[in-house]
Chain A
Amino acid sequence: MEGIARIGRFTIDLTEQMGRMMLFVLSSFAWLTRPPFRFYQIVKQLNFIGYKSTFVVVLTAVFTGMVLALQGYYTLRKFGSEAVLGSAVALSIIRELGPVLAALMVTARAGSAMTAEIGIMRITEQIDALDTMAINPLQYLIGPKLVASLIAVPLLVALFDVVGIYGGYVVGVQLLNGNEGAYWSSIESAVEWKDVYGGILKSISFGLLISWVCCYKGFHTKHSAEGLGTATTEAVVLSAVLILVWDYFLTSVLL
């Protein structure tokens, strides 16, 4: 009996938590539609989430492309299919690795910082101070982060795709002396609009997921240093897991 009760409690808690998360994101978007519109805050967040993540995303992309080309070249050579190396690299990056890895890097760099920043503001009563000034924290703090993340993550993914494909080119063509024409033409013939479209769709949803989870965890930080640490860890782990799970579901729908 006790076991069943425990499962029941867990289910109720989980449902409540999901409900609160849903209300949190819906209220934040609802507040965004009301004046004053804080364009400057959105630009500031675009700089933080987008521009400042560029270096880490480029670095990840270039090495991802390079290792894909390296692995792909020796595998394809066994079957005499080195000519399709470009398409193998490009499709892997555009469909899967670009959106997923870029999102994971944004989670690690910007998502954790978002949770920590909002969490500290919660602990030190800065969020309460906003409330007392009749400034809605969802409108001032959370909304701009959600919007910026929705814009920045797809752009970072596009950058990842391009850099990753060039990384593959450097290894597959420049280092391993593959055929340059075959590399580019195989990409041109294999990559279709739906691959690009699927990648964009994934990156938009990942952008929302990251800012949603990280802002929520920060906003509901418990009032202690330990609480802040826990919130940040939970935000990063939950975002990463949700990105991978959601990626699977989206892929199964898009294929």
Chain B
Amino acid sequence: MIKLVGVEKTFGKQPVLRGVDLTIPEGKLTTIIGGSGSGKSVLLKHIIGLLQPDRGQVLIDGRDIAHLKGQALNEVRKKFAMLFQNAALFDSMTVFENVAFPLREKLRLKGDTVTRRVEEKLEQVGLKGMGHKFPAELSGGMRKRAGLARALVMEPEIILFDEPTTGLDPLLAKSIHDLIVAMQQQFRFTAVMVSHEIPEIFGISDYVAMLKNGRIAEMAPSSEFVKTTDEEIREFIFVGGTVAPKALQAEGR
């Protein structure tokens, strides 16, 4: 269970998070939405301890990681994986080596065991036979798939997705969303996604939370979220009159 209590973060003189309270349900896909520069990625980085809050608690299974460092923080991070905006693949390694990296470095696995697990994950994300390629030789969508394979290979309890479809065309974005949903349903990990993809995220997320003015303005199941009465949120999610088909059905429109 991930729980944030009164998390505040200021960069220089610019407050970004002004007291975030958020509980992420276990085994579900929760998406955090919000305007550009509203602090969504900053919030995500607090959850995995890449950033430390100025005030507040970040509780992972009841343990506050807000001020953990070194080995203690690494112990907690074993539960996590993260898919970065640009996949953050190691560019000096092939796709195979990238996916094998945590197995070799963390679990100290070798030989056939590594090969088997890596090839299995590459197949699951649709990259069978692409292991020998370097990240620079892959398209944006393929890089995200490789990043997802690397995130999945350690079978983590929690996966964080930082704008996983940024820079992809709508079809590729949909294929990545579908893949995330399929993997989440298959492996039942807790997924936290930061995304701008409105209305698509309402069709794939179990829960949606909106970050506004440094706080969580609303959090609800996806189908409930679209019924919000908050004018600013409605304006944000119904911009241009578009909304996800599932959410429309939920609203009875």
Contacts and interface: CB of A to CB of B under 8 A. Distances in A.
Interface of A: 34, 36, 120-121, 124-126, 128-129, 131-136, 140
B204 interface: no
B102 interface: yes
B88 A125 contact: yes
A135 B106 CA distance: 7
**Residue among B45, B85, B102 with the most chain A CB within 10 A?**
B102
Contact of A128 (B70, B78, B88, B91): B88
Contacts of A135: 74, 102, 105-106
A116 B244 CA distance: 44
Contacts of B108: 36
5 contacts: A34-B71, A36-B105, A125-B88, A131-B48, A131-B49
B50 A131 contact: yes
A128 B84 contact: yes
A87 B73 CA distance: 58
B86 interface: yes
Contacts of B80: 132
A124 B90 CA distance: 9
B81 interface: yes
Contacts of A133: 77, 81, 101-102, 105-106, 154
A125 B84 CA distance: 8
Given A132-B80, A134-B106, A125 B74 contact: no
Interface string B48-61: 11100000000000
Interface residues of B, number: 27
A126 B90 contact: yes
Contacts of A131: 48-50, 77
Contacts of A34: 71
A126 B77 contact: no
Contacts of A36: 105, 108
B77 A132 contact: yes
B82 interface: yes
Given A125-B86, A126-B90, A132 B50 contact: yes
B51 to A, nearest CB: 10
A126 B91 contact: yes
Nearest to B51: A128
A212 to B, nearest CB: 20
Given A132-B50, A134-B78, A140 B88 contact: no
A9 B74 CA distance: 36
Contact of B50 (A120, A121, A124, A128): A128
A124 B86 contact: yes
Given A126-B91, A129-B84, A134-B77, 16 more contacts: A34-B71, A36-B105, A36-B108, A121-B90, A125-B85, A125-B86, A126-B89, A128-B84, A131-B49, A132-B50, A132-B82, A132-B160, A134-B74, A134-B106, A135-B105, A135-B106
A53 B74 CA distance: 36
Nearest to A127: B88
Contacts of A125: 84-86, 88
A192 B70 CA distance: 47
B11 to A, nearest CB: 13
Contacts of A126: 88-91
Contacts of B49: 131
B71 to A, nearest CB: 8
Contacts of B48: 131-132
Interface in B109-153: none
Contact of A129 (B70, B82, B106): B82
A34 B70 CA distance: 12
Contacts of B78: 134
Nearest to B76: A134
B113 to A, nearest CB: 17
Contacts of B91: 120, 124, 126
**Residue among A121, A129, A140 with the most chain B CB within 10 A?**
A129
Contacts of B70: 136
Contacts of B106: 133-135
A136 B70 CA distance: 8
Contacts of B74: 134-136
Contacts of B86: 124-125
